Amino acid sequence: MFVLAVLVGFEVISKVPATLHTPLMSGANSIHGIILLGVVVVAGSARTPLEYALVAVAAAFATANVVGGYLVTDRMLEMFRTREGR
């Protein structure tokens, strides 16, 4: 599974023009925000104040990664509109 995903990751990127490197990096950055899913899982099994505190911080971090990541990528890509006629 892990190996397969690695191979796919190599394959997907190798054909990208330099122009889109920054948005692409930002896009990949958003995807690792999936760690929020892991935060949800540990939130379900947390039982002590220490664990709850860790969950709260991790949730804030991960959500900022997801929400901010996708919004910023979208903002960058929004700029690549081609204008109609000159």
Partner 1 sequence: MNAVTQLGYLAAAVAFVLGLHLMNSPATARRGNLLSAAGMAVALAITAVRLARNTDTLTGPVVLLAGVAVGAAGGALLARRVPMTGMPQLVSLFNAVGGGAAALVAVTEYVRLSPAVGAQITVSALLDVVIGGVTFTGSLIAAGKLQGWVTGNPVLFPGRRVVSAALVAIVVAGAVWLLVTPNVPVLVVVIVAAAAFGVAMVLPIGGADMPVVISLLNAFTGTAVAMAGFVLHSVALIIAGALVGASGTILTKLMADAMNRSVVAVLVGGFGTGDTGPAAVGAADTSVRSVTAEDAAIQLAYARKVIVVPGYGLAAAQAQHELSGLVELLIERGVDVCYAIHPVAGRMPGHMNVLLAEANVPYPMLKEMDEVNDEFAATDVALVVGANDVTNPAARRPGNPVSGMPILNVDAARSVIVIKRSMGHGYAGIDNELYSAPGTGMLFADARTALAELTASVRTLVG
Q: Segment 7-36, which members bind partner 1 (CB under 8 A)?
A: 7-10, 12-36
Size of the site for partner 1 (CB under 8 A): 81
Q: Give the separation between CA 69 and CA 51, rounded to whole angstroms.
A: 26
Nearest distance from C-beta of residue 41 to partner 1, angstroms? 5
The footprint of partner 1 on residues 66-85 (CB under 8 A) is 66-83
- 22 is written with which tokens? 């920054």
Range list of H helices, 14-79: 21-31, 35-45, 49-78
Interacting positions 39-68 with partner 1 (CB under 8 A): 39-48, 50-52, 54-68
2: helix, coil or strand?
helix
